[in-house]
Amino acid sequence: MNTDDTLRALSNPGFRFVVDVDGQAQAAFTECSLPVVEWDVERIQEGGLNTFVHQLPSRRKPASVTLKNGVGKSALLDWYIETMGESFKRKVVTITLLDATKTAVMSWHIAGACPVKLTGPQLKTDANAVAIQTLELLCGEITLS
């Protein structure tokens, strides 16, 4: 087994993933942009200390998840439609990366997720492409396992 084969065997392709909402698997997605977990940093300059700036972690910056899939009826679309009304319902979203044997490699658990943006597909008569819709979810607490 050469080095390239070893690397392929040990790597986990980004196209094998499952999205669950409140424990139920959802539609097939062509793309999933995971949240960027980033903290605000407060920089404090101390008088007389010109070679160093204190950097203190502050609050976590807001994060979001973007899901893209083919247009069709799904529970996610129903959830977004509910949110447009008076029922602002947050749910738990879990995104799981799978290996070649469909075994979970890593999971991102997002508590308090809520749909905030739905982008419809680009419809063109001269294009030969699948109609893709995009759903953006805001994130509450994010944990990894």
Mean pLDDT of 13-34: 80
> Confidence class of residue 11 from pLDDT cuts 50, 70 and 90?
low
Q: Check residue 55 and give its pLDDT.
A: 93
Note the pLDDT tens digit of each residue in 26-70.
766 778 888 888 999 999 998 888 888 999 999 988 899 998 876
**Distance separating alpha carbons of residues 29 and 92, to the nearest angstrom:** 18
The reply to whether 106 falls in a domain is yes
Instruction: Examine the pLDDT at 80 and tell me if it is beyond 60.
Output: yes
The reply to whether 45 falls in a domain is no
CB atoms within 10 A of CB 17: 19
The reply to whether 28 falls in a domain is yes
Q: Which domain holds residue 105?
A: 10-39+51-144
The reply to whether 23 falls in a domain is yes
CATH number at residue 116: 2.30.110.20
φ and ψ at 11, to 5 degrees?
A: -85, 160
13-22, 47-56, 77-86: which is most confident = 47-56
Q: Check residue 120 and give its pLDDT.
A: 80
The reply to whether 46 falls in a domain is no
**Distance separating alpha carbons of residues 142 and 110, to the nearest angstrom:** 5
The reply to whether 5 falls in a domain is no
Q: Domain tally for the chain?
A: 1
The reply to whether 1 falls in a domain is no
Note the pLDDT tens digit of each residue in 99-138.
778 888 889 999 999 988 888 877 878 877 777 788 889 9
Specify the pTM.
0.74
The reply to whether 84 falls in a domain is yes
